[in-house]
Structure 1
Amino acid sequence: MNTFSKIKNSIKKRHQSRKIWIKLDEDLKKTYIDEEGNLQFHDQYLEEISTIQQKTKDDNLQHILEKLIETSAKKENQHNLKNISEKFIIEKFTSKNTNAIQWIETFEKECERFNITKDETKIDILRLFLEKSCLEWYSSMIIKLTVNSEWNEWKNKFLETFRNQGWDVVTYALTFRYKEGLLIDYAIKKERLILEINKLIDSKTMIDLIATGLPGFILNKLNRDELNDTTDLFNEIRKYEGMMYKKNSTIIKSGTFPHKNKTNEKKPCKTCESLNKGIRYHPEESCWFKKNKNESEKVFKARNVNNNSIIEVDINTETKNE
């Protein structure tokens, strides 16, 4: 048959096979089918292949292929999640973050921006934005809730664990003041601290809170009516960075060598003060009045000794004369 010749030419390697359809005309039916409809070839019946067995084999093969595709899809999905997470505009969360509510809201907005809507995907990508003890919390939650749980349940557990309900953070943010360094660094940091406790604060209140933490002589140079946004405040205080640099450098120069200043500090001579010679600044050991005082004391003592010896002689002489 021509069909057989074509199949033979198509098979080039061992164990290859082809499946084709052959139309049975009257002559072929006599050759391959007997009177009862059984398949045969000459005097031998052909082996029957069950369609159910064939279907089972096909199903098993399809199941294996689906598993392979699912595994490769998961690996590709994890790789894609990592790439997407690098584009998230959000800092990693640690237990030191002041406002867990704002952070989780920002995280959800970033998920929406990248069309991450499945709960399982949100839970999976959350792990990439946790650090230190928060990662330990995530591992515990995986055991308790598993990845297949609802995102709202994870969110509620997150807020129950990390939400700060005390006043320490609020007090620190509102009382934060400038101490050293650049003025603009102080202003930016205080703005961030205030936004972490209240992102809905109005611009004027924000400007007032930042400005009141500035040094007094800088604050007096700012016109409050001209400041409508924090960017206006930032532009203004940058003009006075040079003044702070000069002030800080003066403080450093005056306090660099305190021991040297103490060494060179002049003290009045105590000898001159005791002799009422006025306040004189010179070393006490080289004082001229001290030297003269010492010499006069020596002469006075010598004279006393001589006088005493003379008196003793006179008394003895008088006794002998008697």
Structure 2
Amino acid sequence: MPTNKETSLLYVRIIKKTEKDFVIPYISIDKELWYLLPEDSRDLQFHPKLSSKKPIQNCISAIKNLNGYRTIAIRIDNDIILEYFDEEGNVCFNQLPLEEYVPSVGSQPGSSVQLELEDRIKRLECQLQSDFSKEEIKLHNIEKKFILDNFEKKQHDPIKWLRHFEDECNRFQITRNSLKIQALRFFVSGSSKDWYETNLTKIGLNAPWDLWKTSFCNVFVDKGWSIVREAFSFRYLGGSLIDYALSKVKLCLEAESKCTELSLINQVVFGLPSEAQEELDREDITNLDVMYAELRKLEDLFSRKRKEKPLSPKLLNKQNFSQSIKKNEPLKKIEPQQCPICESQGFPNRFHLPADCRFKNWRGERPKSNGPSHSTNLTDVEILNVDLGKQDLN
């Protein structure tokens, strides 16, 4: 606790921040060793005993410019001792010892804003270290927390995928270019991984993010006409009409991002079957939502048509099939019958239609031997096939 005349004064630095706000960054008892006040206790309103002193009031009136300052001396009385000293004479505030600060060699103690500048630098360094540690933690867990698939050129639109990646970076407050570039390596594979490793050597980790974006788009964005052909040739072949419409709209927007809503409607309807197009009124469909609603009404109609589709005619006799359709009768099961042509040629128990019989165009009797001297209209290959078929039956 100061007792002699040399240490009976308390030196206070006052800085004007706004028209009505003043702060006390540090105090001293000898103008050589300064004591830094906590960041949240520097406002003058937290020091009512100092504010009540006449020298402090005069000092406030004397400072005219923003960031202007004065160093004023206050005689240490009982109020000051209770507020800024403990029982052992240590300089403190709210009974907490203050951090000591010694100005650098060659500077005039208390003659400039050097203390404040160095204090700011120190606080910025601490803040940067804290930010780096937080970002490193984010980067460590980024692969698990990002809602993003690995980039595959054949499966993803490069521009949309890259925009999704940037949205995820913003969601986790990853703003530094180097951290974005480091985060990108978790979501590339195959050829895109080769591109990433090449860019690390060519462009560098500290390059602007826009430079990496430009390189990514130049390499992976399809500038040909394949995406346009796919979008315009996509047609309804079966299944849900709504699913078809959603897929068609997606493809058209990927091919032409500025496509109007009317063009999208026309493209969707153009890809529908003619019977579905006739059910849609062009004047009533003014937007995509209306079109989806109309297509949903047609879903039941198309599903009923699919259920009522008859069995394949290959399994039925053509005459019975046509008669059953005309009479709206259930289809009759056709009993298998022996082929009369095969039976006449000596091959009984063969069940197929006469129109499909291999002997339907034969003339003459069945060959009795397959010898080369026998006169017949059959070729050697046909004779061999006949005998092999007969052996199978036997």
TM-score, normalization: structure 2? Answer: 0.44
Query: Is structure 2 residue 314 aligned with structure 1 residue 258?
Result: yes
The one of 162, 173, 177 equivalent to 1:104 is 162
- Structure 2 counterpart of 1:164: 222
1:161-180 CA deviation, whole Å, 9 max, x = no partner? 11211111101101210001
The alignment covers a number of residue pairs equal to 206
- Structure 1 counterpart of 2:192: 134
C-alpha separation between the residues in 1 aligned to 2:197 and 2:265? 42
The one of 55, 60, 76 equivalent to 2:137 is 76
1:11-49 CA deviation, whole Å, 9 max, x = no partner? xxxxxxxxxxx99xxxxxxxxxxxxxxxxxxxxxxxxxx
* Offset, 1:85: 2.0
| 8 Å contact from structure 2 (residues 146, 168) kept in 1 | no
The aligned amino acid for 1:183 is L
Query: Greater strand percent: which structure?
Result: 2
- Structure 2 counterpart of 1:210: 268
Distance change (3 Å), C-alpha of 1:73 and 1:106: closer
Query: Is structure 2 residue 233 aligned with structure 1 residue 175?
Result: yes
Distance change (3 Å), C-alpha of 1:227 and 1:91: farther
| Bigger relative contact order, structure 1 or 2 (CA pairs below 8 A, ≥6 apart) | 1
TM-score, normalization: structure 1? Answer: 0.52
Query: Is structure 2 residue 178 aligned with structure 1 residue 120?
Result: yes
| SS of corresponding position for 1:204 | helix
Give matches, 1:29-40, under 5 Å. Answer: none
1:146-166 CA deviation, whole Å, 9 max, x = no partner? 322221221121111112111
C-alpha separation between the residues in 2 aligned to 1:144 and 1:128? 19
| 8 Å contact from structure 2 (residues 139, 179) kept in 1 | no
* Offset, 1:83: 5.8
- Structure 1 counterpart of 2:153: 95
* Offset, 1:99: 4.3
Distance change (3 Å), C-alpha of 1:139 and 1:236: same
* Offset, 1:84: 5.2
| 8 Å contact from structure 1 (residues 98, 169) kept in 2 | no
C-alpha separation between the residues in 2 aligned to 1:121 and 1:229? 43
| Structure with max Cα Rg | 1
C-alpha separation between the residues in 2 aligned to 1:225 and 1:135? 50
The aligned amino acid for 1:247 is K
Give matches, 1:1-322, under 5 Å. Answer: 73=134, 75-82=136-143, 85-86=146-147, 92-97=150-155, 99-109=157-167, 111-112=169-170, 115-251=173-309, 253-255=310-312, 258-259=314-315, 264=334
| SS of corresponding position for 1:222 | coil
C-alpha separation between the residues in 1 aligned to 2:294 and 2:183? 42
Alignment identity in percent? 31
Structure 2, unaligned stretches of length 5 or more? Answer: 1-87, 90-125, 319-332, 342-352, 355-394
| 8 Å contact from structure 1 (residues 127, 135) kept in 2 | yes
| 8 Å contact from structure 2 (residues 169, 180) kept in 1 | yes
C-alpha separation between the residues in 2 aligned to 1:172 and 1:158? 23
C-alpha separation between the residues in 2 aligned to 1:232 and 1:125? 42
Query: Greater helix percent: which structure?
Result: 1
What is the alpha-carbon root mean square deviation over aligned residues? Answer: 4.0
The aligned amino acid for 2:314 is P
1:84-112 CA deviation, whole Å, 9 max, x = no partner? 522xxx66532125743444345445544
